[in-house]
Structure 1
Amino acid sequence: MHVLGREEDERRATGTPLPTVRLGSFLARDGSAGAAVGVDADRPHAGVVFGKRGTGKSYTLGVLAEGLADAPGVSPVIVDPMGVFDGLRAAGGRAVEPAIRPDAIPASAWPDLLGLDPTSGPGGVVWRAVADAAEGAEAASVADLRDRVVEADAPDTARRAAANHLRLAASWGVFDADAPPVSSLAADGSPTVLDLAGVPEAAAAAVVRAVARGLYDARIDGDLGRLPWLLVDEAHAFFDGIADPALRTLLTRGRAPGVSLVCATQRPGALPSVAVSQSDLLVCHRLTAERDVARLAEADATYLAGDLASRLPTGTGEALVVDDATETAHTVRVRERRTPHGGASPRASDVAAAESEGPR
Structure 2
Amino acid sequence: MKDEIELFIGKELDTDEEEYVDGSHSRAVFICGKRGSGKSYSMGDIIEEVHDHTQGVVPLIVDPMGIYWTMVSENEEQQNSLWDWGLQSRAYRVNLLVPGNPKERYGEEVLSEMKRRGLEVSAIKINPSDISPDGWCDLFDLNINKPMGITLYRAIRNLSRQQGNEFNLDDIIDTVEGDAQSNERTKEALLNRLEMSRDWGLFSDTYTPIWDRLDETSLNVLDLSVVDPGKYGLRNLVVSVLCRDLFKRRIKARKREELELQVDVPRVWLFIDEAHNFVPSGESSLSKDILIRWVKEGRQPGVSLTVATQQPSALDHDMVSQCDVILCHKITTREDIQELNRLSQDYMSSELKTYIQKLDRVGQAVYVDDEDESISIVQMRPRRSRHGGGEN
Superposition pairs of residues 218-257 of structure 1, within 5 angstroms: 218-222=249-253, 224-239=264-279, 240-257=284-301
**1:207 paired residue number:** 238
- Taking the aligned partners of 1:337 and 1:283, their CA distance within structure 2 comes to 16
Superposition pairs of residues 82-121 of structure 1, within 5 angstroms: 82-89=65-72, 90-98=91-99, 99-121=125-147
Give the secondary structure class of the aligned counterpart of 2:225. Answer: coil
TM-score normalised by L of structure 1: 0.85
**1:302 paired residue number:** 346
Task: Please state how far the C-alpha of 1:226 moved relative to its aligned partner.
Answer: 1.9
- Taking the aligned partners of 1:293 and 1:185, their CA distance within structure 2 comes to 39
Structure 1 position 331 matched with structure 2 position 381: no
Question: Which residue of the other structure, out of 8, 20, 44, is the alignment partner of 2:6?
Answer: 20
Query: Would the aligned equivalents of 2:341 and 2:351 in 1 still touch at CA under 8 Å?
Result: no
Question: For residue 60 of structure 1, what is the amino acid of its counterpart?
Answer: S
Question: For residue 341 of structure 1, what is the amino acid of its counterpart?
Answer: H
Give the secondary structure class of the aligned counterpart of 1:206. Answer: helix
Query: Would the aligned equivalents of 2:60 and 2:271 in 1 still touch at CA under 8 Å?
Result: yes
Over the residues paired in the alignment, what is the CA RMSD in angstroms? Answer: 2.1
Superposition pairs of residues 1-360 of structure 1, within 5 angstroms: 18-28=4-14, 34-70=16-52, 71-89=54-72, 90-98=91-99, 99-135=125-161, 136-153=163-180, 154-178=182-206, 180-184=208-212, 186=214, 188-201=216-229, 202-222=233-253, 224-239=264-279, 240-312=284-356, 313-345=359-391
Give the secondary structure class of the aligned counterpart of 1:97. Answer: strand
Task: Please state how far the C-alpha of 1:319 moved relative to its aligned partner.
Answer: 0.6
Give the secondary structure class of the aligned counterpart of 1:283. Answer: strand
Count of paired positions: 328
Q: CA 1:168/1:26 → structure 2, altered by over 3 Å: closer, same or farther?
A: farther
Query: Would the aligned equivalents of 1:139 and 1:177 in 2 still touch at CA under 8 Å?
Result: no
Q: CA 1:189/1:305 → structure 2, altered by over 3 Å: closer, same or farther?
A: farther
Query: Would the aligned equivalents of 1:304 and 1:329 in 2 still touch at CA under 8 Å?
Result: yes
- Taking the aligned partners of 1:250 and 1:46, their CA distance within structure 2 comes to 9
Query: Would the aligned equivalents of 1:100 and 1:177 in 2 still touch at CA under 8 Å?
Result: no
Q: CA 1:249/1:17 → structure 2, altered by over 3 Å: closer, same or farther?
A: closer
Question: For residue 211 of structure 2, what is the amino acid of its counterpart?
Answer: S
Query: Would the aligned equivalents of 2:340 and 2:353 in 1 still touch at CA under 8 Å?
Result: no
Q: CA 1:180/1:340 → structure 2, altered by over 3 Å: closer, same or farther?
A: farther
Higher RCO (C-alpha 8 Å, min separation 6): 2
Query: Would the aligned equivalents of 1:22 and 1:39 in 2 still touch at CA under 8 Å?
Result: yes
Question: For residue 323 of structure 1, what is the amino acid of its counterpart?
Answer: D
Task: Please state how far the C-alpha of 1:138 moved relative to its aligned partner.
Answer: 5.0
Query: Would the aligned equivalents of 1:185 and 1:192 in 2 still touch at CA under 8 Å?
Result: no
Question: For residue 41 of structure 1, what is the amino acid of its counterpart?
Answer: G
- Taking the aligned partners of 2:44 and 2:212, their CA distance within structure 1 comes to 21
Query: Would the aligned equivalents of 2:337 and 2:353 in 1 still touch at CA under 8 Å?
Result: yes
**2:119 paired residue number:** none
For residues 170-210 of structure 1, the C-alpha deviation after alignment (integer angstroms, 9 at most, x for no partner) is 22222214364233355514210001003123111011111
**1:355 paired residue number:** none
- Taking the aligned partners of 1:296 and 1:64, their CA distance within structure 2 comes to 21
- Taking the aligned partners of 2:206 and 2:329, their CA distance within structure 1 comes to 41
Runs of 4+ in 1 over 4 A off after TM superposition: none
Identity, in percent, stands at: 32
- Taking the aligned partners of 2:23 and 2:264, their CA distance within structure 1 comes to 17
- Taking the aligned partners of 2:213 and 2:4, their CA distance within structure 1 comes to 24
Q: Which runs of 5+ in 2 are unaligned?
A: 73-90, 100-124, 254-262
Query: Would the aligned equivalents of 1:23 and 1:63 in 2 still touch at CA under 8 Å?
Result: yes
Query: Would the aligned equivalents of 1:317 and 1:334 in 2 still touch at CA under 8 Å?
Result: yes
